[in-house]
């Protein structure tokens, strides 16, 4: 259902902004319907393993089992299905659990994980999750959101502003915030070309806008599309779950490897060397064509066929 809405709105945006001819729009609409059938709705709700995770990699354990005087670091995860970990088979594979245990090991301190992420969340709905977290502010928050923003019918700038507002509220409450920006939707193979290129263009534009908004609000942005899409493109059967839309355990593991150092740095606890850096914009854009050029090429091709 999430993917279906994303495809419909990506198609609508392409038709409005890119000037598609009727024939081209019809072709992309057919591709969208095909991709929705292939992806289908989520089969299950995400697993949960909230609670206290220990430096030895075990957990969750009851709070009362902690030694006297030991306070865990409070860590919350907000956002959409990618933040919630939809697509894995075991609680230990959840991104929140991987990150909580990674933090516990780095800090040599228990970490209390709270997951507020909800499948289907957009930037419009992120504020409710922030409200819930601020009842008892944690030390650190991770947000992953953006893939569903195509369903919101809002401009990229508005979606980024909503995310920036959420980050600013948390930062003002003395919470360290790390945001994994919108992934590269062009890596999702069930979306056929040229619709996949349009989805890629839109998601990359959103990711760039999110990064600017997050950093302006005092948060730390991790450009997931730039850092991860090469691996997802090269190893799709390994990095995607059976629905071919959400990451697999291996995909989430790759994401946590680039998120964890930034999360540690956000709370002043990273001693593991240089942080992950995104490629330059020209490097990241290599072999990617802007939507307007894709649309123009598609229209020329269909015009030739109709003669």
Kindly state the greatest CA–CA separation across the chain.
81
User: Which pLDDT belongs to residue 297?
Assistant: 53
**What is residue 25's three-state secondary structure?**
helix
Pairing assessment for the beta strands 73-79 and 51-53 based on DSSP bridges: unpaired
302: DSSP letter? H
User: Which pLDDT belongs to residue 161?
Assistant: 97
pLDDT tens sequence across 108-140: 999 999 999 999 899 999 999 999 999 999 999
Of the candidates 50, 149, 184, 243, the residue annotated as catalytic is 243
| Domain range annotation of the chain | 2-306
User: Which pLDDT belongs to residue 75?
Assistant: 98
pLDDT tens sequence across 48-58: 999 999 999 99
Asked if 246 is an active-site residue, the reply is: yes
215 burial type by CB count under 10 A (0-12 exposed, 13-18 middle, 19+ buried): middle
Of the candidates 50, 123, 246, 248, the residue annotated as catalytic is 246
**What is residue 160's three-state secondary structure?**
helix
Q: Which CATH class, in words, describes the domain spanning 2-306?
A: alpha beta
User: Which pLDDT belongs to residue 220?
Assistant: 97
Task: Residue 292: count other Cβ atoms within 10 Å of its Cβ.
Answer: 13
The structure's pTM equals 0.79
Instruction: Give the Cα separation of 258 and 21 in Å (integer).
Output: 41
**Is 30:176 a contact under the CB 8 Å cutoff?**
no
Asked if 81 is an active-site residue, the reply is: yes
User: Which pLDDT belongs to residue 273?
Assistant: 61
Distant-in-sequence, close-in-space partners of 278: CB < 8 Å, separation ≥ 6: 223, 226, 227, 284
Of the candidates 81, 123, 203, 248, the residue annotated as catalytic is 81
Distant-in-sequence, close-in-space partners of 259: CB < 8 Å, separation ≥ 6: 95, 99, 142, 178, 180, 222
User: Which pLDDT belongs to residue 199?
Assistant: 77
**Is 1:147 a contact under the CB 8 Å cutoff?**
no
In order along its 307 residues, the chain shows pLDDT tens digits of: 444 444 544 444 444 444 434 443 344 444 444 444 444 455 567 899 999 999 999 999 998 889 888 899 999 999 999 999 998 999 999 999 999 999 999 999 999 999 999 998 999 999 999 999 999 999 999 999 998 886 566 789 999 999 999 999 999 999 999 999 999 888 877 776 777 777 788 889 999 999 999 999 999 999 999 999 888 888 888 898 787 778 899 999 999 999 999 999 999 987 666 666 655 555 455 434 444 454 455 455 445 554 5
Instruction: Give the Cα separation of 307 and 299 in Å (integer).
Output: 13
Instruction: Give the Cα separation of 50 and 136 in Å (integer).
Output: 16
Which stretches of 173-286 are DSSP H helices? 195-216, 224-234, 236-239, 249-266, 281-284
């Amino acid at each position: 259902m999430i993917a279906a809405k994303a495809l419909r709105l990506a198609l609508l945006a392409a038709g409005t902004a890119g000037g598609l001819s009727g024939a081209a729009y019809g072709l992309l609409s057919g591709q969208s319907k095909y991709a929705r059938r292939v992806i289908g709705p989520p089969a299950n709700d995400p697993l949960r393993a909230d609670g206290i995770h220990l430096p030895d990699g075990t957990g969750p354990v009851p709070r009362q089992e902690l030694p006297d005087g030991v306070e865990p670091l409070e860590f919350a995860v907000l956002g959409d299905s990618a933040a919630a970990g939809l697509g894995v088979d075991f609680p230990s594979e959840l991104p929140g659990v991987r990150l909580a245990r990674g933090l516990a090991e780095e800090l040599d301190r228990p970490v209390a994980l709270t997951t507020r992420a909800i499948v289907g969340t957009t930037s419009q709905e992120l504020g409710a999750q922030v409200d819930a977290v601020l009842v008892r502010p944690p030390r650190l928050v991770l947000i992953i959101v953006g893939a569903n923003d195509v369903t919101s019918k809002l401009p990229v700038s508005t979606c980024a502003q909503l995310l920036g507002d959420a980050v600013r509220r948390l930062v003002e409450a003395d919470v360290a915030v790390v945001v994994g920006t919108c992934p590269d939707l062009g890596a999702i193979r069930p979306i056929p070309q040229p619709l996949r290129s349009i989805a890629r263009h839109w998601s990359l534009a959103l990711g760039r806008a999110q990064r600017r908004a997050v950093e302006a609000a005092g948060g730390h942005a991790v450009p997931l599309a730039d850092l991860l899409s090469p691996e997802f493109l090269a190893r799709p059967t390994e990095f995607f779950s059976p629905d071919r839309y959400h990451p697999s355990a291996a995909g989430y593991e790759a994401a946590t490897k680039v998120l964890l150092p930034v999360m540690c740095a956000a709370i002043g606890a990273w001693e593991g060397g240089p942080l992950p850096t995104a490629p330059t914009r020209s490097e990241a854009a290599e072999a990617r064509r802007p939507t307007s050029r894709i649309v123009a090429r598609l229209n020329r091709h269909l015009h030739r066929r109709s003669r």
